[in-house]
Structure 1
Amino acid sequence: MLVLVVLATGALVRAHEDMNEKVRGSLEIENGLWQLLSALQDAETGQRGYLLTGDPQYLDAYNNGAPHIPERLEYLRRATAGNAAHQQALDALAGVMERRLVIIDNGIALYAAGRIDEATSIIGSDEGKRLMDRARSIVAVMRSGEDQYLDALKDNTRRAVRRLEMAIVAAIVAVILLAAYAVFDAYRRSAGLVRTRNELRVVNSQLVQEAKTRAAVEEQLRQSQKMEAMGQLTGGLAHDFNNMLAVIVGNLNLLSRRLARGETDVERYIAQAMDGTERATTLTHRLLAFARKQPLSPEPIEINRLVASMSDMLNRTLGETIRVETVLAGGLWTVNVDPGQLENAILNLSVNARDAMSGGGRLTIETANAHLDDMYAANHVGVPAGQYVLVAVSDTGTGMPEEVVAKAFEPFFTTKEAGKGTGLGLSQVHGFVYQSGGHVKIYSEPGSGSSVKIYLPRHHGAATTAQPDADMAPPPQGAPHQVILVVEDDDRVRQMSVDALRDLGYTVIHANGAEAALRLLDEHPEVTLLFTDIVMPDVNGRELADRALERRPGLKVLFTTGYTRNAVVHNGVVDPGVQLIGKPFTLYQLAHKVHEAIHAGPD
């Protein structure tokens, strides 16, 4: 029996040595996997930093990581030669890393060649992130396999120790002492295994912290990229506004000089200054549309009727060389959108189409009922499946390559010559459509024309009757008995509004804030309309209106603002029953809006 116990003890010792060797090998495999993944992450971080800053010091991380990847892969192949699953996983990991390194090397090469835009566009691609996520997933699976392997070794060790203890109980005292030593040795080795495992966990925690640090650096780089895009946006905006201000200021100066000399032939200077202000107004509306912050007044409409009413205007606007055709579907569903903004969108697309057909061509406006299924929605983020009404504007022009289509909705991006386009037309269309809950898609092929398809959600309900354009009708005049209280904190804007309303025949009193306005309202019970700005210090226009209506429940209210987020506009839509006129406004727009507000029925 002693011999058997001794032999069993020897076998156990050899098993422990073999187990320790396997544990060391497993730990080395896990460490090798982390080193391999860290080398790829260093290469990616170095490339990203270099492309965003142009600083070659960032390439140090790339040079420290990328060259070591092949040798570490080879080491892991040798270390896992007997494990078919690991070998297969390493083959997949090698392929993923090879593709990621190709993308990284291409970005560095493009930047070094001066093709900076192409190089930085690689950063915004989802392909690099997808490959990195795949690499991390493969490493995690292999590490999990090694953890399971270590757990199995530990369980085997414990079972062997228990069997040896049962043999020692039946042996003589000497065998008991020998077995006790073997047990002690086994527990010592097991404790070493536990310590090794704990050390591995510490290393893993350090790697996780390093990954968080790297993620923070990447976030800083992304923020830098956002600031660069903001600089491009503000630069384009400043350029266009400076041009418009130059037109306005120059013509007003000429107007002032001519009037000072007693000349009366000044109509063209007034017209040119007004044209500059209208262009500036259009630019601000387009910026708000791009940012999806313009206040919309949606109503149920029939798109076929709207398109048909635009035909004459489009023929006049686009010229004789463009043949306008409409293909209007029967039984078209109703949509709930802002009709004025939809007209602007169709006009913008039509003008773009005309510019793409310099030698003339055919413009087709088509409507149809459409259903976007789950597969389409899955391939287009943010587009819910469902029923839509399609408005497609197609041309037979030059078309656009894929790289131009990819940037077409970006603000201030244009392929037109300098001075012939702001680059905000398509971004305005994009902002309006998405603010209306819809979807817009460009289909184009160089040499074969383009088609821009707008999908607007179906509205279940009857359409409203179209109203005539206020700017086309003569401005209605007021009467002296109709008293308007104007509230505006900007002195120049307030004085302009007062003068305009008095010129229209109204009696006007005014205040520069809410408290003064409420005092005037108490002193003048004959006030017919409260005309107030929304954005004011201390008390905004909506709060002022609420307090005024508590005093005078039948008082009519007209709001005005250049931009507001929450006071009377929620989710981009003007609150029901609210009368609103946006700044800047013309005398004709003001006349019609005031007349509409005064004669509006009770809310």
Structure 2
Amino acid sequence: MTANSSPAASVGGNARATILNVDDTEAARYAKSRSLRHAGFDVADAVSGRDALAQMEARRPALVLLDVRLPDIDGIEVCRQIKQRWPTTMVLQTSATFTSAADRARGLEGGADSYLIQPIDPDELVAAVRALLRLHDAESSTRQLNETLERRIEERTRALHQANVRLLEQIAQRERAEAVLVQSQKMEAIGQLTGTMAHDFNNILASMVGYIHLVQRMAGDAKISALLDKALAAAERGKQLTLRLLAFSRSNDLVTGPTDVRTLLLGMRDWLRQAVESAIALDIAVQEGGELVAVTDANQLELALLNLVLNAKDAMPAGGSIHIDARARELGEADGDLPAGAYVVITVADTGVGMPAEVLAKAFDPFFTTKPVGRGTGLGLAQVANVARLSRGGARLASEPGQGTQVSLWLAAGSGAALGALAEREMPLNLAGRGERILVVDDEPDIRRTMAELLRGNGYEVLSAAEGGAALTAYADFNPQVVLLDLGLPGMSGIEVARRLRALQPELPIVFVSGHAERELLWTAVPGVRLLRKPFQSEGLYAEVRRCLDDSAGAAGD
């Protein structure tokens, strides 16, 4: 067998094995090198311990044939250093001097993998080297397998960790989505409950206001009239409260129109002061002179301002101050999401704890809150931003920890002329009736009775009905010129009654009397209908009826 074809001369079957032969005796070194080269191995010679270590550094042999007795460094010490620096290298210790069992044990204890006594039979030497190289090859394969397994385990562990992280993120996202859904359902239920309560409260107020007007008509004492005026003012405050409750419960888009911000803010002054603690000072500064009209929904704007004031109060547990400022602003060019144009800017600033940047970035997000469980819904600032956006403007938020918070609502400016025209259009000059026939339909006996008495006292002929079927029968017998119709009737709804009446008389003026309906939605269901909100003042009732009759007469004349 030639050196190139000998399988024993390779490590792992893919490279010729290099043997380092270390011996200071030339004859012994030559004999061992000759036998190994003849067996197909690459052999390098070294004559001292230092030479052997240098050769190790340069060649990295698979096996070292190492004599124990060397001129500079003891062979056992050389073996120790080799095993320390190149632990996978096999060491075959040889000696012609140290031949006892104790010597062999000392060599093996020093780290040698095998020990032979010189002179060595060439076949035994080759066989020993081959055996050690097979062991070296097996250890190398085992190490490679272990490394591969460790790498695969590490990769699999990393993949499992990444999958676990993704799973945890998905679980967290699902929990957040479920929490948002639950919160949304809670808010929807609260909104429905609030709307129902506001509707019932409006009916109670409407009955009270109606009776107050009837008593006021009969009262001849100025003191009694003054007291009744105070009762009407209290009822008006109750009406504003129900409007705010309805603004909270309403889920549809804002119904915008020209709103006098100066009047709105000054009208809220006492209400807002009642909403904060006594340790908190609240002041309102409104620009003097000039128009301060915004195109917005007054009820939703009031709710937004209340949300901002309550947030400011919560940010000042030890007390502080809230400053509300309103003034006209003009943008010469677009600023972010705000186009150029005229605005009314309402700013609410507090001296509270402020917000860090990470909270500030999410403050307008729905359901985001830093308040304890049960203290906040995360919808307050979201509602504020929505009001500003649907008022063709935007919301700006500035805050730093310990420096307080400032929220500015930019609302598109409206026209004072349009506001004046709206007010003028809402009050006809002559409110008295001239015997016209009015049909009143309401399931609340007190409201039905007071409306009928007020209209009769103002010069009208009135017939009333408590539900839809009776209303249709009354229409056929009475042929009314105007129908005042409650929206929430038992059985047949007010909208269905209106549609049937319109089928009988397409031009019939119909006024829905409701505390929570939206004019645009009613118009969609029954085109051309009007809306009178409960509770109403007697002048409002007379004005709505007179407007219907005058418009109907004008249309007939055309």
Give the TM-score, by structure 1 length. 0.45
* Structure with the largest fraction of helix: 1
Q: Which structure has the larger Rg?
A: 2
